[in-house]
Structure 1
């Protein structure tokens, strides 16, 4: 009989293939002969987004921890990127050409004219959400009142709780999601709202015993919606209506940023009505207020919206183009708008990202050619590159 040989299995790191395929004859010295990049090649110490220009292109800048906490505690970073931020103990964003283009448009906006809508579009994982994050940081540093929805499909696919709306009949409330958004709005804008001291323009009656009188601060309005979750969706509608009016009256500048905007125009959601049928997004009370604030019937503001294939509830999306994802109704709602195509990394951006990972000891220097293999495997797609180099 043949003796059975014991076999041992070892877990091979995901990047092993990329790191271990150099020719056997490659000289060991090649590890040390590669040109080294100094920190200024891929980092910049300029944290003021207002000063970002082509000089900083493809370089990483660091968000101050307190501003990162203020902006993104309630969401706004992709989940895996947020995990990477925690691992690296710093939040760094790359200054990309599309971000510079967007910021340049905003800097040169005539805010006396109707609000301009910018639509970020592109393939999955190209960086639409982080481009929006860069713009939000600009808005925070330049005293814009922020109206930010981190990811609309969360409301359409997996709401925390649903309830029948008191009016209109047959509509659905998302009370906990509405309250969570009000907390997010307060976190981002509490300091600015206190300085601006914006007041409500009319009485808001919630029940026979509860009302928010004319002349109340917007912070008081927000806090009421947080404390009385039952009325959170109605509070969101009242708040956005007041924000539009105050902006038009030149009392504040407003930046609207909505990620996954096309989910508002999907044929159906994963929420079931009383008839056991899936309802459409327009039957959710949170939908209309955010559609209203993305119209061009107000001034002193800017709207930054993204459309995304994975933002749709069901089915395979063949195209990432705005007309396809928004449908006829959604496209006509935003028309005219400025389209901004977010693309994969350029050669310079890819090299900068690899150098950043090396600096953070997230990947390890290996024989010549590993970065070319990463480039081949990821096709320079930012999300795919992050997936390939993630921890086991």
Structure 2
């Protein structure tokens, strides 16, 4: 995170230095630290022109995905046996609601040029890795276990439930923390289910800017027309230990590549050294979604060991890889508000808030199909709402 911030400020410093390598007549106007000039012209403060660059620190949150079970969602269940006459209805007991909406860090850089009423502006932001981890000592996970073979049909999660190896029934899938002792035979903390959710998102855009004449009250309005690219990557990882499918792992990644045109409007007004501004944009995005999944179920199963009590009779360790693609319409709206203070003639400090809503986003934890032996990917819930918002603080230089 410190490295990313260092790169941001280094970029700003380099661009300022390059801007200073012009003719001496031009340099005389680059008084970045000259006193601010809050004077007015034509009834109001003049809007800045020329080259500009800004860097902002972001403290934003990302909305959580829709609720999803780890396993086939209740009320679906399986009748599982612990002995010939000992059975119960097993349902999935873990879900993804722990992911939450925690705030994380990011950075945004904007640069451009304005002359008279027209200009160009580049903008880009990057969010630092947003990660959440949840650990459970044990969890029931119901897998879809389809029938296979000729009658009488078999299932992969069936096995002997008696020590005489005479009664074959459905076995329970419960991932439970293994017992691990230290050198003094004291129990060490272990987990049956470890879940990890990681998000990374970034955005870049290029806009043509048209600035209208100021109103009679000194308010400036600008029209934005441009193109935008937004990427949202999420990875949902599960490591499961203990039970009849010890040890199992499945890792699912959802990538949203959203590109399209956008239009926006900005207005601002300056009072002495203070500037109040607001920007609204609409992004007509088209989303190219990619899903990838890999893992292994029952890595400790030994098909050469022969029939055993409470061990799947027909299933061995199974590695799998799955992928899927989809295209969705992903419109988005963004609102930004900020207060700026003109410290010197060419340097401005700002604080503000940004909120962005987008539709048609695929999330990783909602794309998992819980089916033995090869899991799978579902696109049944790949058009979720996404809301990103938070505060900003930055500095801007204008030549």
- Normalised-by-shorter TM-score class: under 0.3
Normalised TM-score (structure 2): 0.22
TM-score, normalising length from structure 1? 0.22
- Could you say which structure has the higher strand fraction? 2
- Between Structure 1 and Structure 2, the one with more helix by share is 1
Q: Which has the higher contact order (CA 8 A, sep 6+)?
A: 1
